[in-house]
A and B are shown apart, each in its own frame.
Chain A
Amino acid sequence: MSQIITLEQLKQTLKEKLASGARVVAPVLDGDMATFKPITNVEKASFEPRACVQNSIKEFFFPKHETLFSFVRQGNDVVLTDAADFDVEQIVVGARPCDAAALPILDPLFAWDYQDRFYQERRAKTTVVTFACTKSDAHCFCSAVGGAPDNTSGADAILFDLGDGSFEVRAVTEKGTALFAGKTSESDKTGAACEPPKADFDVNSIAAWIRENYSSPLWEKVSLRCVGCGACAFVCPTCHCFDMVDEGSYNKGKRVRNWDSCQEAMFTLHASGHNPRGTQGKRQRQRLAHKFVIYPDKFKSFLCTGCGSCSRSCGQMFGVRPCLEALDKQGVKAQQ
């Protein structure tokens, strides 16, 4: 027997959470564009599986901008005030499986040499509910990096759209079980995800090529059209680089953390004026090597879930998939 929930029951569950003071995040439609936002009215949210949402749910764990502490100068002393704890319960609903899958990939990073309480507190207080995919598009390649349209990695519960205004609920963790306790009914209906997306490249072979071809001229060649913005990194569920700066005045201000991207020339510009990654080819090499060699070496997983957000968002029609395909065709297969 499966557990099912109707759309009305799902909305009611979220309404109760909102009433209890929790923050509910869901996709909100503006024309054809869906954006994950905190909602106050569940009717404003869009509860259907979709391959494309403008932003990743990562910003509800690792915001694009956050205050770490504030400071004020008093005489010869500087008084520091810690940022407030994140003590709100958070429910993220409607995430794509490939978006949620980034969370267990990032967990060891934010608990590595430094325990990042900002990320960890939000992670501990958040329940993630994903929708199993009902369609994929040409940008999707989760299956090439170990994912699947019904992958439950990072999800506390996964919902399968039954197409009749109800969803099959499969709780994955205790948090997921708790969220839907008493809200579902038994049924003999079961849901299924779409077929996995196709990719005719092997990521492990490409990773091996990257390891051996640091100085290949191919890096510059395949990256020529990249203009060096951070769109790919900022929509990516796994990219996590940040910059810390002080804002305010000499006497009063705050230290903040902002997203940063290795695709921007400023990222590695030294005070001397030297830039060790002075061309876009070197910056793309860094991005790809980090995702498929460096991160797996350190944390045992690719820093990519195959969600395709980078290539969907790229104004120059680049991104991880086109880059992997170019390296595969012009590097890996050219050598065979």
Chain B
Amino acid sequence: METELRNAIRKLLEEKTVDVAIGYGRVGVGGAVGAVFVTSPDEVDQLVWNSECRQNLAVHLTRPEIKALGKIAIVVKACDARAVVVLANESQIKRDEIVVVGVVCEGVVKARFDGSNGEQLFEKCASCVEHAPKNVDVLIGDEAKAAELDAKNAPTAATSGNQAKLAKLRAMTSEERFQYWRGEFSRCVRCYACRQSCPLCYCNRCVADKNRPTRIETSASMKGVFAWNLLRAFHLAGRCVSCGSCAAACPAGIELDLLNLTLVNAAKEHFNYVAGEPGVPPLIGTYSLDDEEDFIR
């Protein structure tokens, strides 16, 4: 697959279809996998594809430093591809101006707390039912294998992985749940790694950065960390694609994706909506004259 991926990117660069390809490479300490920005066909051997390709590279699509490099090709997993759909839906990118290279993903492994690779797949991967990305221009990998994996996970998807973790939290009393998040948020330092690694937190001026007047306190006090983390979850309601970048990036190991999952479930339950489906208009920002609620008409 890696060779196939390199060949596809080499072709895009050689034919000058794109100026830069955003993919994965062994760039970190001890060869840890992170984003690489390949601008020449000679450099494609830097690209790798394996179970350590954790980051959602779609976060780079809206960054000015990257847009300055020219026309972009991007390597995506299925969950990352959904973020590309949302970005296009929300007019942050023009879908036909980028080349999306999808890879069939069999799951990515969690990093251990010390930064090394663990053996366990991310919870989102353990319950994943979309191993082949949609909405791509080039697809690398075995679609039949992907369908097989989808079918294998389908029966337990609603009750395993993060859904199982969330169900445990939902079974708590509200006081117990509050104490759980109090404990987790006590480690929050307001570094905004969650926001900066999220492809859908693209605002030029985040509400947390507004200071004329201040909308939410910037302090890492209990009040400040609750305000920040809950506000971010709400701003992703009906938009979050459950890629898990926020939780993976959190230096304090807070499972922020569980907050988002609550709202992902709410969108599904109340509106039968899953963010990132190609061709489906965004939930927030869409209305229907046939809506059963009076206030919307």
Chain A residues with CB below 8 A from B27, complex form: 225, 317-318, 322
Instruction: Judge whether A107 is part of the interface by a CB distance below 8 angstroms.
Output: no
Leading 3 A-B pairs by shortest Cβ distance: A317-B28, A315-B249, A317-B34
B195 in complex: contacting residue of A220, A229, A321, CB < 8 Å: A229
Comparing A28-36, A148-156, A159-167, the segment that makes contact with chain B is A28-36
The chain A residue sitting closest to B195, CB to CB, is A229
| C-alpha gap A137/B111 in the complex (Å) | 15
| C-alpha gap A18/B195 in the complex (Å) | 39
Instruction: Judge whether B114 is part of the interface by a CB distance below 8 angstroms.
Output: yes
| C-alpha gap A326/B28 in the complex (Å) | 10
Instruction: Judge whether A78 is part of the interface by a CB distance below 8 angstroms.
Output: no
Number of interface residues of B (CB under 8 A): 48
Q: When A and B form their complex, what is the total count of cross-chain residue pairs whose Cβ atoms lie within 8 Å? A: 140
**Among residues 288 to 336 in chain A, which have CB atoms less than 8 Å away from a CB atom of chain B?**
308, 311-319, 321-322
Taking A64-B220, A229-B197 as contacts, is the C-beta distance between A311 and B113 under 8 angstroms?
no
| C-alpha gap A65/B187 in the complex (Å) | 12
Q: Is there an interface contact between B187 and A311, defined as CB atoms closer than 8 Å?
A: no
Instruction: Judge whether B245 is part of the interface by a CB distance below 8 angstroms.
Output: yes
**Among residues 57 to 72 in chain B, which have CB atoms less than 8 Å away from a CB atom of chain A?**
59-60, 63-66
Q: Is there an interface contact between A225 and B193, defined as CB atoms closer than 8 Å?
A: no
Chain A residues with CB below 8 A from B30, complex form: 138-139
**Among residues 237 to 254 in chain A, which have CB atoms less than 8 Å away from a CB atom of chain B?**
243, 245, 247
B189 in complex: contacting residue of A64, A266, A312, A315, CB < 8 Å: A64
Comparing A47-55, A96-104, A116-124, A181-189, the segment that makes contact with chain B is A47-55
Chain B residues with CB below 8 A from A258, complex form: 190, 218-220
The chain B residue sitting closest to A225, CB to CB, is B35
Q: What 1/0 mask marks residues of chain B from 162 to 188 whose CB sits below 8 Å from any chain A CB?
A: 000000000000000000000000010
Q: Is there an interface contact between B36 and A225, defined as CB atoms closer than 8 Å?
A: yes
Taking A224-B37, A227-B196, A256-B219 as contacts, is the C-beta distance between A312 and B114 under 8 angstroms?
yes
Instruction: Judge whether B217 is part of the interface by a CB distance below 8 angstroms.
Output: yes
Q: Is the interface of B mostly helix, strand, loop or mixed?
A: loop
Q: Is there an interface contact between B192 and A264, defined as CB atoms closer than 8 Å?
A: yes
Please give 5 more A-B residue pairs, beta carbons under 8 A apart, in addition to A64-B220, A321-B29.
A225-B34, A230-B190, A234-B191, A316-B197, A316-B249
B251 in complex: contacting residue of A259, A280, A313, CB < 8 Å: A313
Q: Is there an interface contact between A230 and B217, defined as CB atoms closer than 8 Å?
A: no
Query: A91 CB to closest chain B CB, in angstroms?
Result: 21
B219 in complex: contacting residue of A31, A137, A233, A247, CB < 8 Å: A247
Q: Is there an interface contact between B114 and A315, defined as CB atoms closer than 8 Å?
A: no
| C-alpha gap A137/B66 in the complex (Å) | 32
| C-alpha gap A225/B37 in the complex (Å) | 8
Instruction: Judge whether B259 is part of the interface by a CB distance below 8 angstroms.
Output: no
Instruction: Judge whether A90 is part of the interface by a CB distance below 8 angstroms.
Output: no
Taking A65-B224, A315-B248, A318-B34 as contacts, is the C-beta distance between A261 and B191 under 8 angstroms?
yes
Q: Is there an interface contact between A51 and B114, defined as CB atoms closer than 8 Å?
A: yes
Q: Is there an interface contact between B34 and A259, defined as CB atoms closer than 8 Å?
A: no
Query: A65 CB to closest chain B CB, in angstroms?
Result: 5
| C-alpha gap A318/B250 in the complex (Å) | 14
Instruction: Judge whether B253 is part of the interface by a CB distance below 8 angstroms.
Output: yes
Instruction: Judge whether B127 is part of the interface by a CB distance below 8 angstroms.
Output: no
The chain B residue sitting closest to A282, CB to CB, is B65
**Among residues 52 to 85 in chain A, which have CB atoms less than 8 Å away from a CB atom of chain B?**
52, 54-55, 64-65
Contacts from A to B (Cβ < 8 Å)? 30-35, 51-52, 54-55, 64-65, 137-139, 220, 223-225, 227-231, 233-235, 243, 245, 247, 256, 258-259, 261, 264, 266, 279-281, 308, 311-319, 321-322
Q: Is there an interface contact between A317 and B32, defined as CB atoms closer than 8 Å?
A: yes
Instruction: Judge whether B4 is part of the interface by a CB distance below 8 angstroms.
Output: no
Chain A residues with CB below 8 A from B214, complex form: 245, 247
| C-alpha gap A225/B137 in the complex (Å) | 24
**Among residues 104 to 141 in chain B, which have CB atoms less than 8 Å away from a CB atom of chain A?**
112-116
Chain B residues with CB below 8 A from A266, complex form: 209
Instruction: Judge whether B3 is part of the interface by a CB distance below 8 angstroms.
Output: no
Instruction: Judge whether B260 is part of the interface by a CB distance below 8 angstroms.
Output: no
Query: A55 CB to closest chain B CB, in angstroms?
Result: 7
Q: Is there an interface contact between B193 and A230, defined as CB atoms closer than 8 Å?
A: yes
Q: Is there an interface contact between B113 and A52, defined as CB atoms closer than 8 Å?
A: yes
| C-alpha gap A165/B123 in the complex (Å) | 37
| C-alpha gap A150/B36 in the complex (Å) | 37
| C-alpha gap A332/B54 in the complex (Å) | 31
Query: B151 CB to closest chain A CB, in angstroms?
Result: 32
B191 in complex: contacting residue of A52, A233, A316, CB < 8 Å: A233
Chain A residues with CB below 8 A from B253, complex form: 30, 33, 54
Chain A residues with CB below 8 A from B64, complex form: 279
Query: A84 CB to closest chain B CB, in angstroms?
Result: 16
Q: Is there an interface contact between A245 and B218, defined as CB atoms closer than 8 Å?
A: yes
Taking A311-B28, A315-B197 as contacts, is the C-beta distance between A224 and B190 under 8 angstroms?
no
